[in-house]
Structure 1
């Protein structure tokens, strides 16, 4: 009886879908505007998921220019992600194709009105 229960439990573990991994990176706001919300999506998918906000970010309400925040998310199968920032003035911008597997810091900014980033 115990052996049967153990066999069933082992089979269920292998049949269960893989769970997403918790990942994070540091986002440096170099846009010149306060960021009030960050969402992340697998590259090109457009399925935005809100950043799992840290308690201090909830208290501050926005990440000002030159400030940093940690972006927490469930990593799927790939490494390339898009980041969407909503600013305090309710405008937003998207930075695409950021490799979050190989980079711990992502600095977002604008170059001639176009969203650009530097990852390191």
Structure 2
């Protein structure tokens, strides 16, 4: 199978579901949306990359209360990744230098008092 996050390869959300445990990369993780709002776009790119890779959700939306599992190719060695989410109203949040080799789940929450989206790491 084609690697979803191989260097230079386009991310295709449909292929995430096709990866089996035997092909799992050490960077595999789950995004849980507990923001209260839908996420329209999610981008994940190597930290050293100056541009965002393609939207991993494609045409889908990650609704509040839903989770999305990201799978990497078993051969992928990079641990440090950046992630950007964009809400359906255009607001966004960015996290840099996420060590995906040590993260199994990111739970996203929005704080209405501060207007900040945070990510709890498991």
Q: Which category of TM-score, normalised to the shorter sequence, fits these structures?
A: 0.5 to 0.7
Gaps of 5+ in 2: 1-5, 8-23
Q: Within the alignment, does 1:70 sit opposite 2:78 as a pair?
A: no
1:22-37 equivalence runs, <5 A: 23-37=27-41
Q: Work out whether residues 38 and 84 of structure 1, in 8 Å CA contact, stay in contact via their aligned partners in 2.
A: yes
- What is the aligned residue count? 97
Distance 2:41 2:71 in 1: 12
Q: TM-score, normalised by structure 2?
A: 0.61
Q: Which structure has the greater CA radius of gyration?
A: 1
Q: Greater helix share, 1 or 2?
A: 1
Structure 1 or 2: larger strand share? 1
Which residue is equivalent to 1:8?
Answer: none
User: TM-score, normalised to structure 1's length?
Assistant: 0.62
Gaps of 5+ in 1: 1-18
The 5 Å alignment of 1:9-28 reads 20=7, 23-28=27-32
* Equivalent in the alignment of 1:50: 54
Using the TM superposition, give the Cα deviation of residue 48 of structure 1 relative to its aligned residue in structure 2, in angstroms. Answer: 0.9
